Amino acid sequence: MSKVFKSALAALSLVVATEGMAKGHLSASLERAGKGSETALLLTVSNDGDAPIAMLKEQVPTVLINGRNLPSNLFDVRDADSISERAVSYTGFLIHQKTFQEDAFTVLAPGERIQVNYDPANDYQLEASHRYRVKYVASGAVHPTDNLGRAKRSALPIGDQELVESNSVELMTSASFALPRSFQARLPSRPGFDDEAGKKGRDLSRPFFYAANFTHPY
């Protein structure tokens, strides 16, 4: 075997190996928002890998319900003033979707990022004069499914990250802090839920809504 052929073969092997190692990777960062309420946050989800990668839109989330509410519990919120830093109750939506079509995913190119403004006061039972530590925690390995909920082959570049976690951010609520009115009265026309005046008082320690097979408007 000639030296020229050996060199060409080695170069080809290196190119194939390098392409095989190309991989997308999701990272997340959380910071205080520069505007909005005292608890407003800015979430950034980025692909810091060297290949495209897909992520379920509701896990980012690129669309907030009613423009403010999460589709599921995506943040770890802790009461920093308690001895054990107890978890703060999530009282927002819990949407369990059985099937995931390919259009429910977003694809991030290498270096691309998505930013979402979010206020945890809309979904978590925060109180006045408290310190909280907040961290974003989502799944990066959800796969498209068929109509029966079974994983199916897809051209989407789904990663293998079970969890995508951000840094923790500390929030401090003022003595005058109050939960948004939307937190108290999300469905005023439904019996058993708070009306617009905050009456009837539902159990705020439990999630607000659960759908067995919800279709997102993506």
The residue that leads in pLDDT, 214 or 111, is 111
Q: Is 21-211 assigned to CATH 3.40.50.300? A: no
Q: How many Å apart are CA 104 and CA 218, to the nearest integer? A: 6
Q: What is the pLDDT of residue 148?
A: 85
- pLDDT for 200 beyond 80: no
Q: What is the pLDDT of residue 182?
A: 64
Q: Which of 5-19, 25-39, 97-111, 157-171 has the lowest mean pLDDT?
A: 5-19
Please count the other Cβ atoms lying within 10 Å of the Cβ belonging to residue 133.
15
**Confidence band of 131 (pLDDT split at 50, 70, 90):** very high
Phi, psi dihedral angles at 112 (to 5 degrees): -80, 150
Q: What is the pLDDT of residue 184?
A: 55
Phi, psi dihedral angles at 205 (to 5 degrees): -90, 0
- pLDDT for 57 beyond 50: yes
Q: Percentage of the chain with pLDDT > 70?
A: 73
Domain residue ranges in the chain: 21-211
What does pTM read for this prediction? 0.76
- pLDDT for 189 beyond 60: no
Contact 141, 190 (CB under 8 A): no
Give residue 201's region: left, alpha or beta (phi > 0; psi -120 to 50): left
Q: What is the chain's mean pLDDT, rounded?
A: 80
Q: Stretch 40-54: mean pLDDT, rounded? A: 96
Quickly tell me which residue has 């009461």 as its tokens: 79
Q: Indicate if the alpha-carbon torsion angle 98, 103, 109, 111 is positive or negative.
A: negative
